[in-house]
Amino acid sequence: MSAIPMERPVLGDDEAAALTGLAARVRELAEATVLTGAGAAEAAAVADEIAALTARLTAERRGAPPFVTPGERRMDRQIANPVSGPLNPFAPPIGLDVTSDGVVRGEFTLGAVYEGPPSYVHGGVSAMVLDQALGMAAAATGTPGMTATLETRYRRPTPLGVPLKVEAKASRVEGRKVYASGTISAPDGRVTVEATAMFIMPQRFVTSEY
Ligand SMILES: CCCCCCCCCC(=O)SCCNC(=O)CCNC(=O)[C@H](O)C(C)(C)COP(=O)(O)OP(=O)(O)OC[C@H]1O[C@@H](n2cnc3c(N)ncnc32)[C@H](O)[C@@H]1OP(=O)(O)O
């Protein structure tokens, strides 16, 4: 039972494009916020202006993030996904492609808002990226599921501000369970994080839409 309903409004192209543009500006705002050298008075003044903008957006508030009509892949309808969703200011967002043989690949650069140890990516953020990539690889088998287990091995620090690669692939399907593995690698090609995961299509979704 969740406080966010399952039913979703479906955006048209124009609205999706406008909200994607809005999210991009908010993403810039988040980075500007963590990096600003504004003094206390300026920060307080900007906070008031942002509060006014938030009130403006909240005037027409939905009960849940919207979807778009998916293209070839049903998984692409969630445009507010926190990893890949262009509508979500929290998402980098990372474009993830699935090849015909089920390999998921994406290239991305993470900025200061994702910092864990100074100058490096937060380990939870790396896990989130891998969860999404491995989950998409699992879904590409035709058996989409929820993450039941996710094991990450942090081999070396993942640098901020440089192009990173994520790659994932499912290794086997056993009934409702799908096993997948993947990596994040740095520009020099060295793997910084490895992950393995098992996804389970919930019993309750076997007979309904995921
Ligand atoms: C389509 C687009 C895809 C996009 C990618 C999305 C990536 C992101 C995915 C996520 O982040 S999902 C959010 C994080 N995960 C969760 O919140 C999952 C919470 N857990 C559940 O909802 C359920 O526990 C779960 C769906 C995982 C399993 O529930 P079921 O009721 O279907 O399992 P059931 O109890 O029938 O057990 C089936 C089998 O799985 C095993 N099992 C269940 N949960 C397990 C677990 N957590 N770890 C290991 N094994 C598990 C269980 O022992 C049993 O094994 P056997 O077949 O050998 O008897």
122 C-alpha to center of ligand 1: Å? 25
- Co-location of 112 and 186 in the same domain: yes
For the CA of 75, the closest atom of ligand 1 is: 2
- What ipTM did this prediction achieve? 0.97
> Of 85, 118, 144, at which residue does a domain stop?
85
Report yes or no on whether pTM surpasses 0.80: yes
Task: For residues 34-38, give the mean pLDDT.
Answer: 98
Query: Looking at the domain assignment, is residue 210 inside a domain?
Result: no
Query: Looking at the domain assignment, is residue 193 inside a domain?
Result: yes
- Co-location of 80 and 98 in the same domain: no
- Co-location of 119 and 36 in the same domain: no
For the Cβ of 85 lying below 6 angstroms from any atom of ligand 1, the answer is no
For the Cβ of 131 lying below 6 angstroms from any atom of ligand 1, the answer is yes
CB of 86 closer than 8 Å to CB of 93 = yes
Show the domain range for 64: 1-85
Our CA angle for 31, 35, 38, nearest 5°, is 120
Per-residue tokens: 16? 């999706």
In angstroms, the CA 168 to CA 97 distance is 10
Q: Which of 146, 151, 173, 176 has the most ligand 1 atoms within 8 A of CB, as the residue to mutate?
A: 146
128-171 per-position pLDDT tens digit: 999 999 999 999 999 999 999 999 999 999 999 999 999 999 99
For the Cβ of 149 lying below 6 angstroms from any atom of ligand 1, the answer is yes
- Co-location of 17 and 60 in the same domain: yes
